[in-house]
């Protein structure tokens, strides 16, 4: 990794070897290999909260000699501003290197300020923005083109977040090396980013715990009423009691042990805050819906913990990420988390152990009926599994691929009265050979601004993402697109993992100004809707000439909207011509008709 010069008579490589933790050094080594390989996919660094992710980001953004222009994207404005402070000054002071060099300028921009910010950083610097800003900038072609030309490297913080298709597409369209950073497990199979397993670095919670980088987590299960007028008061009573006991257990003054309280909504915050105030505690309530009219101690934005002195911080989602004060050691869950990922993110706020002291503890107070301890234990079990995979040369994000490979380990078998061969994605070199296209298809007329390549791009970015991954090769020419895809879903009838998979296809064909489209999952495409028009019913009726067609099924919309009338019905018959008319036929409008009798339409 080629780094800029250090002013102290040594090299940055020496500084990193001396001051950066081992996991940070290993992450940088893996990213160095990624940049050298010039991969057209994305890389990933997954490290628990408190294990030095920011230092890795800062090294890549500020010290690379051959990547002087970096774009850093994060989900929220407060996190973007925090990263700006860390990269521009704070981190370098923490490691005693603020006199060793002049950090490159770091500018936060919005769509309105992009031009000025780009000029300020000039040919070397860091531009920072939110996901929403990047998505908005993409709509301004000239500005987005300038950003793409300027950018050498893209870093995405909190990359575990489910990306909206548009901003994820914007990141990929920057056409620059991209590294995603996340503190929680990442599902490459269900995301819009295409992570290269070769260039991933995963540092598990167990490894961090062994290195004393994070604190161990102790769950306290306590009971309080879940309904009635005394819910908040009894919860506050239990909370204050266990905070005092936990402080005593670790030999800490109770007043300096900071607490995060999680509620389900703003209404809960407004009953918990008074309950804690009534017990003489210093409290702050944080929610995006709060305003000045709510008065103190309610605020809309997360304050700086070095300035705000409240011991108890009550929130819904605001304190799940971006809060890096190690004085927070205790979490109380009043409103439960429904999934393990959010719980892990929340617990990440209290496990920081910057002094690498042994025997350090963090505490989580939860009601036993909330099931929070079970969610955490499942995360720990997963981390142990990932650690074992890493020890045997595997990687984290290929776990699903391994599962699918194990299921298809038997290549040939007898099933449903036939001898069959298991279809693998590598066997599908031309999907036209294996796909059985349905006989129904959507037909629309291309508009004046219709572009075939844009339609194909929309299919790839909208329909072949998330839980629908391409299966085998694509058939594509100047007017045809056909792709098999595999959908993997968790069964809804069991809580443990049971993966259900099925194949589907998406097909598009352009003949003249007609666009034929079919998706086996019944999904639509935004570009198709916005840049094509429906064919008039009287034109479609020409497909059903009386002498050649047999109508076998119709869907009818009832023109009678009375409370006792059905709104829609479908009729299936050997031939509609043989069905006698009824007195109410005049009130029905035919919406669809299915016929047989001709091989081609």
Same domain, yes or no, for 170 and 53?
yes
In the listed set 340, 372, 391, which residue is the last one of a domain according to the structure? 391
Same domain, yes or no, for 480 and 567?
no
In a domain, 495, yes or no: yes
pLDDT, tens only, 218-232: 999 999 998 888 999
- Rounded CA-CA distance 352/599 in Å is 68
Q: How far is CA 338 from the centre of its chain?
A: 17
Same domain, yes or no, for 236 and 333?
yes
Give the model's pLDDT for residue 164.
54
- Rounded CA-CA distance 527/545 in Å is 32
In a domain, 396, yes or no: no
Same domain, yes or no, for 544 and 530?
no
Name the 3-class secondary structure at 586. Answer: helix
Is the pLDDT reported for residue 191 higher than 80?
no
pLDDT, tens only, 48-84: 988 999 999 999 999 999 999 999 999 888 889 999 9
Query: Band of the pLDDT at 600, cuts 50, 70, 90?
Result: very low
Averaged over 44-51, what is the pLDDT? 91
Is the pLDDT reported for residue 210 higher than 90?
yes
Is the pLDDT reported for residue 140 higher than 80?
yes
Burial class (CB in 10 A: 0-12, 13-18, 19+), 97: middle
pTM beyond 0.75: the answer is no
pLDDT, tens only, 391-424: 888 777 655 566 666 666 666 666 666 667 778 8
In the listed set 391, 408, 438, which residue is the last one of a domain according to the structure? 391
Give the model's pLDDT for residue 402.
66
Same domain, yes or no, for 27 and 161?
yes
Is the pLDDT reported for residue 363 higher than 90?
yes
Same domain, yes or no, for 294 and 357?
yes
Query: Band of the pLDDT at 599, cuts 50, 70, 90?
Result: very low
Give the model's pLDDT for residue 37.
96
Same domain, yes or no, for 528 and 547?
no
Give the model's pLDDT for residue 165.
55
Is the pLDDT reported for residue 528 higher than 90?
yes
In a domain, 547, yes or no: yes
Give the model's pLDDT for residue 429.
93
Same domain, yes or no, for 531 and 544?
no
Q: What percent of the chain has pLDDT over 70?
A: 92
Contacts of 25 (CB under 8 A, 6+ apart): 16, 17
Residue 570: domain span: 540-596
Give the model's pLDDT for residue 571.
79
In a domain, 420, yes or no: no
In a domain, 413, yes or no: no
Give the model's pLDDT for residue 436.
92
Is the pLDDT reported for residue 521 higher than 60?
yes
Q: Which of residues 560 and 480 earns the better pLDDT score? A: 480
Averaged over 528-539, what is the pLDDT? 90
Phi, psi of 39 (to 5 degrees): -65, 145
Number of domains in the chain: 4
Same domain, yes or no, for 515 and 565?
no
In a domain, 42, yes or no: yes
Residue bearing tokens 């934005």: 301
In a domain, 497, yes or no: yes
In 512-547, beta strands by DSSP E: 514-519, 532-534
Same domain, yes or no, for 192 and 172?
yes
Query: Band of the pLDDT at 461, cuts 50, 70, 90?
Result: confident
Give the model's pLDDT for residue 553.
79
Q: Assign 3-class secondary structure to 102-139.
A: CCCCEEECCCCCHHHHHHHHCCCEEEEEEHHHHHHHHC
Averaged over 435-446, what is the pLDDT? 91
The neighbour count for residue 183, using CB atoms within 10 Å, is: 24
In a domain, 572, yes or no: yes
Same domain, yes or no, for 333 and 387?
yes
Q: Which of residues 395 and 234 earns the better pLDDT score? A: 234
Averaged over 467-485, what is the pLDDT? 92
Give the model's pLDDT for residue 190.
42
Task: Give me the long-range contacts of 545-549 (CB less than 8 A, separation at least 24).
Answer: 548/597, 548/598, 549/595, 549/596, 549/597, 549/598
Contacts of 150 (CB under 8 A, 6+ apart): 69, 118, 127
CATH (domain of 70) = 3.40.50.300
């Amino acid at each position: 990794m080629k780094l800029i010069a250090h002013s102290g008579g040594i090299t940055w490589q020496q500084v990193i070897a001396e001051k950066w933790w081992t996991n940070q050094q290993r992450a940088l080594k893996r990213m160095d290999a990624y940049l050298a390989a010039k991969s057209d996919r994305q890389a990933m660094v997954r490290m628990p909260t408190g294990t030095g992710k920011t230092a890795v980001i800062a090294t890549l953004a500020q010290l690379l000699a051959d990547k002087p222009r970096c774009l850093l994207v994060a989900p929220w404005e407060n996190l973007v501003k925090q990263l700006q402070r860390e990269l521009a000054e704070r981190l370098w002071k923490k490691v005693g290197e603020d006199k060793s060099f002049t950090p490159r300028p770091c500018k936060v921009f919005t769509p309105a300020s992009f031009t000025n910010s780009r000029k300020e950083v000039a040919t070397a610097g860091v531009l920072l923005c939110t996901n929403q800003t990047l998505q908005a900038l993409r709509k301004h072609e000239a500005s987005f083109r300038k950003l793409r030309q300027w950018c050498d490297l893209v870093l995405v913080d909190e990359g575990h977040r489910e990306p909206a298709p548009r901003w994820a597409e914007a990141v990929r369209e920057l056409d620059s090396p991209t590294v995603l950073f996340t503190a929680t497990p990442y599902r490459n199979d269900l995301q819009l980013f295409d992570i290269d397993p070769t260039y991933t670095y995963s540092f598990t919670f167990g490894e961090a715990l062994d290195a004393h980088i994070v604190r161990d987590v102790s769950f306290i299960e306590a009971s309080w009423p879940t309904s009635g007028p005394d819910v908040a008061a009894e919860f506050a009573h239990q909370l204050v009691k266990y905070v005092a006991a936990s402080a005593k257990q670790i030999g800490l003054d109770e007043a300096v042990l900071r607490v995060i309280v999680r509620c389900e909504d703003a209404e809960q915050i407004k009953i918990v805050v008074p309950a804690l105030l009534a017990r003489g505690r210093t409290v702050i309530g944080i929610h995006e819906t709060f305003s000045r009219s709510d008065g103190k101690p309610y605020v809309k934005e997360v304050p700086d913990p070095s300035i705000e002195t409240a011991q108890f911080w009550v929130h819904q989602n605001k304190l799940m990420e971006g809060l890096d004060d190690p004085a927070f050691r205790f979490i109380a869950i009043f409103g439960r988390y429904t999934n393990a990922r959010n719980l892990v993110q929340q617990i990440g706020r209290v496990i920081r152990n910057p002094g690498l002291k042994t025997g350090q503890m963090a505490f989580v107070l939860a009601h036993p009926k909330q099931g929070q301890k079970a969610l955490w234990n499942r995360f720990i079990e997963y981390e142990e599994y990932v650690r074992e995979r890493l020890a045997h040369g595997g990687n984290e994000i290929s776990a699903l691929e391994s599962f699918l490979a194990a299921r298809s380990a038997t290549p040939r078998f007898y099933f449903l009265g036939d001898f069959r061969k298991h279809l693998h994605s590598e066997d599908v070199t031309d999907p036209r050979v294996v796909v059985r296209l349905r006989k129904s298809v959507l037909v629309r007329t291309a508009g004046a601004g219709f572009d075939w390549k844009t339609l194909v791009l929309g299919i790839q970015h909208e329909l072949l993402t998330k839980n629908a991954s391409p299966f085998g090769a694509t058939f594509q020419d100047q007017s045809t697109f056909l792709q098999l895809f595999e959908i993997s879903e968790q069964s809804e009838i069991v809580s443990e993992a049971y993966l259900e998979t099925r194949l589907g296809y998406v097909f598009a064909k352009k003949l003249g100004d007609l666009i034929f489209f079919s998706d086996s999952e019944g999904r639509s495409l935004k570009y198709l809707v916005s840049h094509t028009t429906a064919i008039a019913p009287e034109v479609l009726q020409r497909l059903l000439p009386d002498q050649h067609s047999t109508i076998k099924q119709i869907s009818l919309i009832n023109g009678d909207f009375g409370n006792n009338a059905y709104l829609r019905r479908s009729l299936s018959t050997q031939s509609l011509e043989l069905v006698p008319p009824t007195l109410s036929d005049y009130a029905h409008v035919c919406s669809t008709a299915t016929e047989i009798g001709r091989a081609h339409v």
